[in-house]
Amino acid sequence: MELVKCIGGLLSGASIGSVLLVYLLLHPEKIEIWSSLLWRLLSSLGSVFKFAHKKYVKYDIQGRVNRFAKELSKNAPYLAEERVRVEWVRSNISRESFLQDGRVILRLRRDDPDDMNFAHGAYLFVSTSLLFELKRYISQSQRQAIDLYVTTKLIEQEKPSVVGHFLDQYLHPELYDTESKTARYFDTYARIDDGGLFYPVFLQELDFLGDKVFGERRDDEIIREVNWLIDFLKQIATRTIGEEGNLDFKQEYCSFAVVIVGKPAKLTPSGDVYVDYIKKHLVPSGFETIYVLSLWENRGVIDSICEALIDSYEKCRTLKQKAVLRYGDQAVDRQQFLAVLRRKGIEIFRPSD
């Protein structure tokens, strides 16, 4: 009996170990974060463990940036196609090899009380990985504000204590520059994000736009269209519940409509009023993407709407997210449900990881 208990104990120990191993293999960024904590602890033990600081910095940047990217890949796969790897340059590299290699080398400090190593690594990663096909075609301030906003979100999530230092260095000087539009864009992006439209709609549309214009000549028309897109989404994100307004955006490059499901008088389990509207107005106009948005509790209605449109539109992604909704003067955090429908026959849509 004792033997059976012992074998049982070993087996359950082994199975817990296996589960843990599989979990860690599926979440390598977690191993990196844990190891960064271990290396940080060692590096604080004195000069014998001086080498540990270098390992701490490497795994801290990799683990946290990759965790953010993985998290984001559920909603915004166009950002999260890449992960970061910190690669130490050999200190004995020759001048010739350095010139041939052609890549930038970021300096990471030993004395870093404000944790700016992490902020610089994160900013560099976001700037070079996010929407890089599109960046050449939009204005410098539109681009810079996107990079600053996403990096701020990354730092906010992974190292909140660093956000203030990062913004002090990179955003606040812009606020004092009356010529700079970066701070204004940053503020508008924050409003669009409050309304739950920054990653799933704004960056998604920019990604589509990037695919369309990549390889073409730069054109101010694209910058103007991105400005209209920003104004359009800001107006939706800040609208008061019940307020009517234009929800269609059809320009030279972007072609989408937002359908907000929620008016009690129109709300039925099948969503037939919305299905009729989409079939009558949006399908004939050939919108490439339809974003169907509602409160989380109405997700069943959205599913029915998507089902009814299956001949013309493919449901590519759904997501649950928090958004600030305005009821008169009151702003309330609510859980929303969003479905992204892509017109059939349009080129490949990047699915979530």
Partner 1 sequence: MAKLALRAVHDDDLGDLLENLGLRSKCIHGKLKCAFCKDIITYDNLHSLFPDSGDIKLVCSKPECVNRLLLRLETKRR
- Binding of partner 1 by 6 (CB under 8 A): no
Tell whether residue 218 is a contact of partner 1 (CB under 8 A): no
Interaction between residue 51 and partner 1 (CB under 8 A): yes
Per CB under 8 A, the list member of 20, 89, 310, 332 interacting with partner 1 is: 89
Establish if 219 lies at the interface with partner 1 (CB under 8 A).
no
185 is a contact residue toward partner 1 (CB under 8 A)? no
Nearest to 337 by CA among 352, 316, 322, 315: 322
Report phi then psi at 120, rounded to 5: -65, -40
- Phi, psi for 332 (deg, rounded to 5): -125, 135
Which range binds partner 1 by CB under 8 A, 8-16, 124-132, 298-306, 310-318?
A: 124-132
Task: Return the CA Rg of the chain.
Answer: 24
Under the binding rule (CB under 8 A), the answer on residue 54 touching partner 1 is yes
Cα-Cα end-to-end distance for the chain: 47
Q: How far is the CB of 113 from partner 1 (least distance, A)?
A: 14
Both tokens assigned to 317: 């992604």
Piece of the chain touching partner 1 by CB under 8 A; list 35-43, 45-53, 235-243, 246-254: 45-53
The helix (run of H) or strand (run of E) holding residue 11 is helix 2-26
Residues in the interface with partner 1 (CB under 8 A) total: 54
- CA dist., res. 108 & res. 96, Å (int): 23
Distance CA(97)–CA(347), nearest Å, equals 41
Q: How far is the CB of 52 from partner 1 (least distance, A)?
A: 11
Q: Which is nearer to partner 1, 147 or 225 (CB)?
A: 147
DSSP for 27-58, please give it. Answer: -HHHHHHHHHHHHHHHHTT-GGGTTHHHHHHH
- Residues 125-164: x/- map of binding to partner 1 (CB under 8 A)? x-xxx--xx-xx---x--xx--x-----------------
Q: Which is nearer to partner 1, 140 or 335 (CB)?
A: 140
- Quote the CA–CA distance of 19 and 26 in Å, as a whole number: 11
For partner 1, the closer of residues 169 and 238 by Cβ is 169
Q: Confirm if 220 and 228 have CB atoms less than 8 A apart.
A: no
Where on the chain is the footprint of partner 1 (CB under 8 A)? Answer: 50-51, 53-54, 57-58, 61, 81-89, 91-95, 98-111, 120-121, 123-125, 127-129, 132-133, 135-136, 140, 143-144, 147, 169-170, 173
